[in-house]
Amino acid sequence: MTELSKTGAAVGEPTPSSPSDAFLEVRDLKVHFPTDDGIVKSVDGLSFSLEKGKTLSIVGESGSGKSVTSLAIMGLHRLGARGKNVRMSGEIWLGGKELVSASPDEVRRLRGREMAMIFQDPLSAMHPYYKIGDQIVEAYRVHNNVSKKVARTRAIEMLDRVGIPEPAKRIDGYPHEFSGGMRQRAMIAMALVNNPELLIADEPTTALDVTVQAQILDLIRDLQKEFGSAVVLITHDLGVVAEIADDVLVMYGGRCVERGPVDEIFEKPQHPYTWGLLGSMPRIDRETSDRLIPVKGQPPSLINVPSGCAFHPRCPYADLPKGNVTRTVRPELQQVDGGHWSACHLSAEDRTRIWTEEIAPKL
Ligand SMILES: Nc1ncnc2c1ncn2[C@@H]1O[C@H](COP(=O)(O)OP(=O)(O)OP(=O)(O)O)[C@@H](O)[C@H]1O
Ligand code: SF4
Ligand SMILES: [Mg+2]
């Protein structure tokens, strides 16, 4: 049940009106890594939900917890030496199954079939010494009881589907024989071979040139339409967000500071950090890069997170809310309207005035 603030606005994390609306629902997710220097709170109380057929874009500076969130959903953070001490709490519901409390075997069974991930670097998902086709065949056969021949036909079909020319020939190539863009396509083919209902794409196009970027994004969009999957897209490019996302989640220091439908986030963003991001991030759809204004200051320490609002040391408006509230009280997400939520102590009047009079004219 959502409590009501003094202003009557709902307070708390956004949750879907009924669990059946969402295919993916993350509730109060925390992913902490104990280290020699202290506990790194990479994700610290994150909640969001996503329906099938919709795309949620996660944006935020380097180190804000975007990849850790995706790896946690996929159950991949537990792999590798750095992840062995991970502490995770909260809930991740995928199609009615809860993943945080699930066994590694249960999560492994879902990975590939119900959820798949594509990365910035395809070589992190593909083995360099095995033929591309064999890797796709293997990914298919893990979840389908079919002969190698049937799986090979399926692999050729997928390579064709992602736009790899002469797929019957290229299927026997090795990853290093593919160009960056073609490798990215092959990885997408591998990720989608089992028609996953959730696809997480973590900066899938960052390493590619602009033309190939656009092709890959079109591909993800087409495949999403065809399969009706839910997509989480992590990107530094707000032009991509504007083009592809239905909803946007802005992360800062392991938490969500603003979330809402893409139009609202671009047309009336309600958080000073989002204002900063809008001025500082590149856009594929704009030519000039001289308008980029970096957000001043350093990203917060995730070991000693600033008190109150974690953004306060960098926020030009930190002194505006009355008292010392921004430095002492952590702002919770408050509903702006509909699916739009923001975590900031500024009054609605101040936010509207600053955005319309000071920020928007400069962007
Ligand atoms: N295994 C680990 N042990 C300790 N700290 C970790 C571990 N994995 C990630 N971190 C830390 O968690 C924070 C969030 O990392 P994450 O990779 O999610 O950032 P990101 O938002 O994806 O950044 P980028 O945009 O650069 O990809 C970083 O400070 C990172 O150093
Ligand atoms: S709560 Fe205060 S410091 Fe944080 S973003 Fe809002 S105005 Fe800035
Ligand atoms: Mg990352």
Cβ-contact 302, 225 below 8 angstroms: no
Q: Taking 80 as the threshold, does the pLDDT of residue 10 lie above it?
A: no
Mean pLDDT for the stretch of residues 327-347 = 96
Looking at beta carbons, which pairs linking 351-358 to residues 24 or more positions away fall under 8 Å? 351/270, 351/271, 352/268, 354/272, 354/275, 354/317, 355/268, 355/269, 355/270, 355/275
Q: Is 295 touching ligand 2 by the criterion CB < 6 Å?
A: no
Ligand 1: atom nearest CA of 80 is 1
Residue of 35, 58, 64, 77 best suited for mutating to test ligand 1, as the one with most atoms within 8 Å of CB: 64
Per-residue pLDDT tens for 277-311? 998 876 655 555 555 677 889 999 999 999 999 99
Furthest-apart CA atoms within the chain: distance in Å: 70
pLDDT at 290: 54
Q: Is 334 touching ligand 1 by the criterion CB < 6 Å?
A: no
Tell me how far the alpha carbon of residue 268 lies from the centroid of ligand 2, in angstroms. Answer: 16
Tell me how far the alpha carbon of residue 197 lies from the centroid of ligand 1, in angstroms. Answer: 26
Ligand 1: atom nearest CA of 60 is 21
Ligand 1: atom nearest CA of 71 is 18
Could you give phi then psi for residue 274, rounded to 5 degrees? -65, -40
Residue of 317, 320, 330, 333 best suited for mutating to test ligand 2, as the one with most atoms within 8 Å of CB: 317
241 vs 217: CA distance, rounded Å: 11
Per-residue pLDDT tens for 181-203? 899 899 999 998 998 999 999 99
Q: Is 281 touching ligand 1 by the criterion CB < 6 Å?
A: no
Q: Is 309 touching ligand 2 by the criterion CB < 6 Å?
A: yes
State the pLDDT confidence band at 239, using cuts at 50, 70 and 90: confident
Q: Taking 70 as the threshold, does the pLDDT of residue 48 lie above it?
A: yes
From the list 8, 78, 11, 91, the residue with the least C-alpha distance to 48 is: 91
Residue 225 is classified by DSSP as H
Residue that the structure tokens 């202003």 belong to: 7
Q: Taking 50 as the threshold, does the pLDDT of residue 274 lie above it?
A: yes
Q: Is 346 touching ligand 2 by the criterion CB < 6 Å?
A: yes
Mean pLDDT for the stretch of residues 247-274 = 97
Per-residue pLDDT tens for 244-255? 999 999 999 999
Residue that the structure tokens 């997480």 belong to: 200
Mean pLDDT of the residues in the chain: 88
99 vs 101: CA distance, rounded Å: 5
- Domain borders along the chain are 128-195, 265-362
Could you give phi then psi for residue 150, rounded to 5 degrees? -65, -40
340 vs 324: CA distance, rounded Å: 26
Ligand 1: atom nearest CA of 203 is 27
How are beta strands 230-234 and 198-202 bridged, if at all?
parallel
Q: Taking 90 as the threshold, does the pLDDT of residue 12 lie above it?
A: no
